[in-house]
Amino acid sequence: MTRLRIFEADTPERPLSTQEDPEAVASGLAAIGVRFERWDTRHEIRAGDAPERVLEAYQPEIDRLMAEGGYQSADVVSIHPEHPDKATMRSKFLEEHRHAEDEVRFFVDGAGLFTLHVDGKVYEVLCERGDLISVPAGTRHWFDMGPNPSFVAVRIFTSPDGWAADFTGSDIAQHFPRLEN
């Protein structure tokens, strides 16, 4: 189930609040400028499906979002528990970083944990099938796909070059909960 937990940045062992209602999650994230929506997942897509199939299945929604946000490209990331590079891929995203553009993800299947560090608080967002999250450019965050990842996500970019991170050097991500499947 989709979930938002909010922590003080110096108190990772005890959340200040927990929300599981999608409207409450969206409202809590909107307060820090993060877009969160629930999209219909009418297509049966699983890790390993061709990226073209995923993009085609959700093209109207992707086109609408791209037009609204001025985004230029979309791709698909699909990771399954048997992926040979899963540990390397997981570690790539576990350190706090930020981007020069919005980080937009639509979870077509599976789950991932976005954790945002904003104004002395940490917002942990468990995204699952049907969740769209758009983290504004410059927002410090990290992402955990878990030790046995299983998800398919559409990624939408302003730059056709795609994902580029500016790592902050902070160790804050090491102190907060991880996604454990």
Dump pLDDT digits (tens) for 153-177. 999 988 766 667 899 999 999 999 9
> Cα separation of 67 and 75, whole Å?
16
How many other β-carbons are positioned within 10 Å of the β-carbon of residue 39?
Answer: 16
The CATH number for 123's domain is: 2.60.120.10
Domain membership of residue 28 (yes or no) is yes
Domain membership of residue 138 (yes or no) is yes
The structural domain count of the chain equals: 1
Q: Which amino acid is at 164?
A: A
Report which of 144, 162, 158, 137 is spatially closest to residue 76, judged by C-alpha positions. 162
Name the pTM for this structure: 0.94
Report which of 164, 115, 120, 179 is spatially closest to residue 141, judged by C-alpha positions. 115
Domain membership of residue 24 (yes or no) is yes
Domain membership of residue 176 (yes or no) is no
Dump pLDDT digits (tens) for 59-103. 999 999 999 999 999 999 999 999 999 999 999 899 999 999 999
Domain membership of residue 134 (yes or no) is yes
